[in-house]
Amino acid sequence: MNAADFDKLSDEEKEHFFQCPKCGDFVDKCELRNVIFHVTDHKPKPHIPRIIGKPMPERPSGD
Ligand SMILES: [Zn+2]
């Protein structure tokens, strides 16, 4: 995401992004693959699943 698009987001949405120090892109922290792409070497990592940010399922209580 570029700075112009980032500017259109609400403050709440902006909290989910950080600016990549290497390329200046705004990266959605909920997208693990994007984050890893930017904090490593900017090469695609197809083996990393796209989705994260889902809450962990709650463990059933009791045993
Ligand atoms: Zn980057």
3 in a structural domain: yes
pLDDT in tens, 19-60: 999 999 999 998 888 888 999 999 987 777 666 556 666 776
C-alpha 4/C-alpha 17 separation (Å) is 14
Predicted local distance difference test score (pLDDT) of residue 8: 95
Predicted local distance difference test score (pLDDT) of residue 52: 56
45 in a structural domain: yes
Kindly give the distance from the C-alpha atom of residue 34 to the centroid of ligand 1, in angstroms, as a whole number: 9
Kindly give the distance from the C-alpha atom of residue 28 to the centroid of ligand 1, in angstroms, as a whole number: 11
25 in a structural domain: yes
pTM over 0.85: no
Query: How many structural domains is the chain composed of?
Result: 1
Does the pLDDT of residue 7 top 60, yes or no?
A: yes
The parent domain of residue 44 ranges over 1-56
Kindly give the distance from the C-alpha atom of residue 63 to the centroid of ligand 1, in angstroms, as a whole number: 46
C-alpha 22/C-alpha 15 separation (Å) is 19
62 in a structural domain: no
Kindly give the distance from the C-alpha atom of residue 55 to the centroid of ligand 1, in angstroms, as a whole number: 26
Region 10-23: mean pLDDT is 93
- 42, 23 contact by CB (below 8 A): yes
61 in a structural domain: no
Predicted local distance difference test score (pLDDT) of residue 44: 83
Q: How far apart are the first and last CA of the chain?
A: 46
Residue 17 β-bridge partners = 28
